[in-house]
C-alpha cells in the first residue's frame, strides 16, 4: 500500500511537472513542432551527406503538414532541420483553395514557410499570380514576390515589381511600377492595394488612370473596377477633352459620367483656357455641363491681362448641336475685375461660341474714369479683346472731371466702340440727353453745356470724354457757372456709384460657404433652365437656376 501511494505520488508529480513545463514554454512563446509527414514516394535513399542526415525521396513524392500538402518529382528531407527541398513539378496545396506550382521549392516545417522558384504560378478561386519566385507562409496564408509579378482575375490584369497577397483577406499590396488594366482604364502607380474579392483598388501615392472617356489622377483614394466609381483625395482631377475638374476630394462615376469635387476645386475649360475655382464642383460628362459654387471665381486672359469674375455659382454648358452655343452662366452677385474694366450685376451669361458677354439685372461697368449703366449690357469680344459694348434700355454714361463735376449722357440705347480695349466712341440712339462741363486747363469751370438730342456721338480720348456730337437738330443751352445750381447738375436717374466699384481684393475674397451636398452614385437628372440670350435682350436665369 505504501509503495502504491509512493507510485501515485511520483506519477502526479510527473504530470504536474509536465503541465508546468508546457505552460512555461507557452509563456516563453514556444510552440510545439508539427512533423512533416511523408505520405508517398516511389523510392527512398537515406544517408549522411556532408555531416547531415538526408532522406532522398524519388518519384511521386507527397508530404503533408496540417492543411498543407507538397507534391514533387523528388524531395530531399533534412530531418534534423525539419526542412524539405523539392525538385520538378513542385506543387503546394493548402486547404484545397490555394495552389502554387514551380520548378523547385524549399519548405521549412518549423516556420511553415516555403520559397518557390522557377515559373511560379499561384492560384486561388479569385485570381492567378505568375512570378519568377515566391515566398509563401502557410500559417499567415500570405505570399510575397520581389522579382515582378502578374495577377489576372476575370475582370482585371495587374502587375508590379514587388507585391504581397493575403489569401484570407484577399488583399494585394503592390509596390514599384504598378500597372492595372481593366475593360475601361489603364492605371499606373508606385504603390497600390487591390482586393480580389471586392475588386476595389486602393491608391497610396501618385496614380494615373487613363480611360477612353477621360483620365483621372489622384494621390490617394479608391476605384471600384466593378461599379466604376472613384473616390479620390489629394490633388485629384478628372481630365476630358473639354474640361479638367480637380479638388482635394473627388468622386467620379465612370458609368454615368458624373463627377463631384470638394476643397480647392478648379474647373478648367481646355478650349478657351478659362479656369473656374470654388468650394464645390459638379460635372455631367454626357450632358457637357459643369457647375462650381461657393466663392466661385472665373479667370481668363483678355488683352494680355487677367479678367477675374466672381459669383456664388458658375455654370458651364457645352453645345449640344450645331445650333446651340457654348455658355457660361454666373449668378448671383456677379463682380468683375480687370485692370481697365470693373463691373457688377445680379447675373451674367457668356456665349463662348459668339464671344458675347451678357450682364443682366442692374449691371454697372466702370472703364477707367467712366461709369456705364443700363438695364442690360452686352460686351462683344474679338480675339479676347473688348470690341463693342451694347447698352439696352435706360442707358447712362457718366464720368468725373478734375473738379468733381459729373459729365452725363443718357439715352434709350447706346453702342460703345473700343480700340485695343479702350473706349473711343459711344453712339446714343434715341431720347438722348447730355450734361457736359466745360473746363479751362482742368482747373477752372467755364460753364455747362446741356442738350437734348435723340442721337449723339461721344468721343473719348485718354479714357476721358472729350467731345459730344449731336447728329440731329439739338435743343442745347450753355449755362455759365454763376447761374448753375445743384439741381441743374444732374440728369434724371443719375447716381454715382463709385463705392460699389469692385476691387481685385473684393473679387478674390472668400465668403462663408453653404454646407456641401453629399454626392450620389448616380447623379439625378437636372434640366438646365438657363437659355442663351438673344441679340437685343439677354436671357435672364429663372428662379430655378441650374
Q: For position 513, what pLDDT does the model report?
A: 56
Model confidence over 344-377: pLDDT tens digits? 999 999 998 888 999 999 999 998 888 999 999 9
Nearest to 476 by CA among 449, 457, 455: 449
Domain 36-147 has CATH 2.60.450.10: yes
Phi/psi for 81 (5° steps) reads -100, -5
Give the β-pairing of 157-160 and 455-461: unpaired
HEC string for 302-325:
ECCEEEEEEEEEEEEECCCCCCCC
Contacts of residue 355, defined as CB under 8 A and 6 or more positions apart, other chains included, come to 380, 381, 382
Point out the residues of the chain with pLDDT beneath 50: 1-31, 515-546
DSSP assignment of 363-410 equals: -EEEETTEEEE-SEEEEEEETTEEEEEEEEEEEEEEEE-TTS-EEEEE
Q: What confidence score (pLDDT) does residue 49 get? A: 75
Give the global pTM: 0.70
Residue in the block written with cell 470690341 = 387
Which grid coordinates are listed for 544?
430655378
- Listed residue (469, 452, 462) closest to 423, CA to CA: 462
Terminal alpha carbon distance of the chain: 102
**pLDDT computed for residue 451 by the predictor:** 93
Which pLDDT score, from 0 to 100, does residue 108 have?
A: 96
**pLDDT tens by residue, 256-279:** 989 999 988 988 888 777 888 999
Amino acid at each position: 500500500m505504501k509503495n502504491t501511494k509512493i507510485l501515485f505520488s511520483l506519477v502526479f508529480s510527473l504530470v504536474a511537472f509536465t503541465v508546468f513545463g508546457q505552460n512555461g514554454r507557452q509563456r516563453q512563446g514556444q510552440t510545439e513542432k508539427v512533423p512533416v509527414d511523408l505520405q508517398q514516394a516511389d523510392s527512398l535513399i537515406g544517408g549522411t551527406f556532408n555531416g547531415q542526415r538526408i532522406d532522398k525521396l524519388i518519384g511521386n513524392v507527397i508530404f503533408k503538414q496540417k492543411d498543407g500538402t507538397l507534391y514533387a518529382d523528388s524531395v530531399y528531407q533534412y530531418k534534423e532541420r525539419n526542412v524539405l527541398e523539392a525538385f520538378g513539378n513542385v506543387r503546394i496545396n493548402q486547404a484545397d483553395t490555394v495552389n502554387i506550382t514551380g520548378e523547385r521549392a524549399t519548405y521549412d516545417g518549423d516556420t511553415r514557410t516555403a520559397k518557390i522558384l522557377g515559373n511560379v504560378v499561384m492560384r486561388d478561386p479569385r485570381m492567378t499570380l505568375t512570378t519568377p519566385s515566391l515566398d509563401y507562409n502557410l500559417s499567415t496564408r500570405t505570399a510575397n514576390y520581389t522579382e515582378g509579378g502578374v495577377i489576372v482575375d476575370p475582370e482585371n490584369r495587374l502587375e508590379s515589381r514587388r507585391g504581397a497577397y493575403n489569401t484570407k483577406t484577399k488583399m494585394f499590396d503592390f509596390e514599384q511600377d504598378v500597372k492595372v488594366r481593366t475593360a475601361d482604364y489603364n492605371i499606373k502607380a508606385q504603390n497600390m492595394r487591390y482586393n480580389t474579392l471586392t475588386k476595389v483598388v486602393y491608391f497610396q501615392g501618385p496614380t494615373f488612370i487613363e480611360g477612353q472617356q477621360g483620365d483621372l489622377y489622384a494621390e490617394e483614394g479608391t476605384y471600384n473596377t466593378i461599379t466604376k466609381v472613384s473616390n479620390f483625395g489629394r490633388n485629384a482631377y478628372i481630365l476630358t477633352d473639354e474640361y479638367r475638374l480637380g479638388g482635394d476630394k473627388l468622386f467620379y462615376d465612370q458609368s454615368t459620367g458624373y463627377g463631384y469635387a470638394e476643397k480647392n476645386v478648379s474647373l478648367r475649360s481646355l478650349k478657351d483656357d478659362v479656369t473656374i475655382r470654388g468650394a464645390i464642383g459638379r460635372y455631367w460628362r454626357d450632358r457637357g455641363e459643369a457647375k462650381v459654387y461657393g466663392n466661385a471665381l472665373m479667370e481668363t486672359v483678355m488683352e494680355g491681362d487677367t479678367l477675374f469674375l466672381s459669383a456664388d455659382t458658375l455654370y458651364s454648358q457645352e453645345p449640344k448641336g450645331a445650333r446651340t452655343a457654348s455658355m457660361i452662366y454666373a449668378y448671383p452677385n456677379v463682380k468683375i475685375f480687370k485692370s481697365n474694366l470693373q463691373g457688377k450685376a445680379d447675373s451674367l451669361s457668356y456665349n463662348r461660341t459668339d464671344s458675347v458677354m451678357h450682364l443682366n439685372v442692374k449691371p454697372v461697368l466702370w472703364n477707367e474714369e467712366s461709369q456705364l449703366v443700363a438695364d442690360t449690357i452686352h460686351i462683344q469680344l474679338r480675339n479676347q479683346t473688348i470690341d463693342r459694348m451694347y447698352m439696352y434700355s435706360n442707358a447712362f454714361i457718366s464720368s468725373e472731371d478734375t473738379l468733381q463735376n459729373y459729365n452725363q449722357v443718357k439715352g434709350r440705347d447706346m453702342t460703345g466702340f473700343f480700340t485695343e480695349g479702350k473706349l473711343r466712341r459711344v453712339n446714343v440712339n434715341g431720347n438722348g440727353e447730355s450734361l457736359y462741363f466745360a473746363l479751362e486747363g482742368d482747373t477752372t469751370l467755364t460753364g455747362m453745356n446741356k442738350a437734348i438730342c435723340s442721337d449723339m456721338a461721344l468721343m473719348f480720348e485718354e479714357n476721358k470724354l472729350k467731345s459730344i456730337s449731336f447728329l440731329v437738330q439739338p435743343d442745347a443751352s450753355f449755362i455759365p457757372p454763376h447761374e448753375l445750381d445743384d439741381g441743374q447738375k444732374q440728369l434724371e436717374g443719375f447716381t454715382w456709384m463709385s463705392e460699389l466699384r469692385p476691387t481685385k481684393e473684393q473679387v478674390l475674397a472668400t465668403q462663408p460657404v453653404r454646407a456641401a451636398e453629399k454626392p450620389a452614385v448616380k447623379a439625378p437628372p437636372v434640366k438646365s433652365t438657363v437659355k442663351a440670350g438673344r441679340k437685343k435682350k439677354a436671357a435672364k436665369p429663372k428662379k430655378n437656376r441650374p
